[in-house]
Amino acid sequence: MKIGIVFHRDPFASPAGIDIVRLRALASGFRKRGLDAEIVAPVAHEGMLMETMPVRPLAFLRRHGYFSVVKTCYHFSIELIGDYKGPVISRIVRVVDPALPERDEPRRERLLSCQTEILRRSNLLIVNNGENERRWAKLYGPRPPIVLIPTGCPIDLPPCGENPFHSCKRPVLFLGSLASPHMVRMMNELARRLPPDASIYWIGADKMHLYGLTCDKGISPLIISCGELPEDAIWDHVRHARLGLAFAVNNHPFDNDSSKVYNYLRGGLPVLLERPVLQEDLVIKTGCGAAFAYGDIDEMVAKALQLLDAPLREEREAAIRFMLERHTWEQRVDAYMPLIQQMAAGHW
């Protein structure tokens, strides 16, 4: 049985964002469990990812019977499967409707078209959370069947390197893309009100332009931008930081599923989370961090200072154990395996 994982962009792109980290983790996990998994992407030539994972051009989807099952990764992946005739598992991050989320306005028509194609073409839909499961059912009804499989984190981390923060005594880390002016405003305010021995370091990219958005005042010069970094370097930052930040994109829960929280907690990093980010339950269960109300700058600052002053040694260790017990990529692969096997056997 061969499964094709259809990815929307070049998987050899560097540095690796969460989309490629997830792709590598799931694809390699499938192969470890005996599935003949291959990545299918808009590339000109065949290649190998991580030396063991075949990457095929889209033309392979037209080979009759080559793939037993195809899994897409994001909305736009469904546009790439063409005339492929076999069963399809689709995954999307958030469900778009005619009005929400506001930030998807520049791409709304295309995203809605993708959802219509998923409705027509897919045998199964994977979403990260119940918020988006309910949105899909409200828009489209019970088809295709939906399964919740959240994002995950690695079991093994690369060897710990040198402290990348150098002279900063209490580094605060924001990991990920900036996707709305609200996120920028909150981070700017926190940077302005932190004590002199603490600084915010940002690893990621400003992606507001993808949504037709800008922030009037821009990103504060108090925030130290590290750009996009290789995965090993990211883990060095996570493990040496004192606090991780998870800002909300907006006040809609369905649009605030934050993969960065999984990485923070896997690295034992306390989290300061803005509601309605959906991973608040992870912070509560581990005790490794705190949440503040949407847009409440005073509460944000007060809780940041509390967390920076607290040792939280036991909470850090508990967070690592909790993530390893319940939220690894291997556990996500285990959730996919029976779905793929049943679909390949024609049971969907």
Q: Within 93-201, where are the H helices?
A: 108-121, 130-140, 181-193
- Ranges of residues in the chain with a pLDDT under 70 are 14-16, 347-348
Q: Answer whether 288's CB lies under 8 Å from 315's CB.
A: yes
Tokens of 126: 């994977």
What would the pLDDT profile of 302-319 be if each residue is shown by its tens digit? 999 999 999 999 999 999
pLDDT of amino acid 208: 79
Nearest alpha carbon to residue 22 among 72, 58, 56: 72
pLDDT of amino acid 206: 83
Nearest alpha carbon to residue 265 among 251, 277, 253: 277
pLDDT of amino acid 348: 63
pLDDT of amino acid 295: 98
Strands (E), the chain: 2-6, 36-41, 47-49, 53-57, 69-72, 88-91, 124-127, 146-148, 170-175, 198-203, 224-227, 243-246, 271-274, 289-292
pLDDT of amino acid 45: 94
User: 329-344 and 18-32 are packed helices; what angle lies between their axes, rounded to 10 degrees?
Assistant: 60
Pairwise CA distance, residues 332 & 26, whole Å: 8
Pairwise CA distance, residues 332 & 335, whole Å: 5
Q: How far apart are the first and last CA of the chain?
A: 16
pLDDT of amino acid 15: 66
| Domains contained in the chain, CATH given | 2-152+328-344 (3.40.50.2000), 170-326 (3.40.50.2000)
- Predicted TM-score (pTM) of the model is 0.95
Q: Any residues with CB less than 8 A from the CB of 62 and at least 6 apart, and which? A: 82, 83, 84
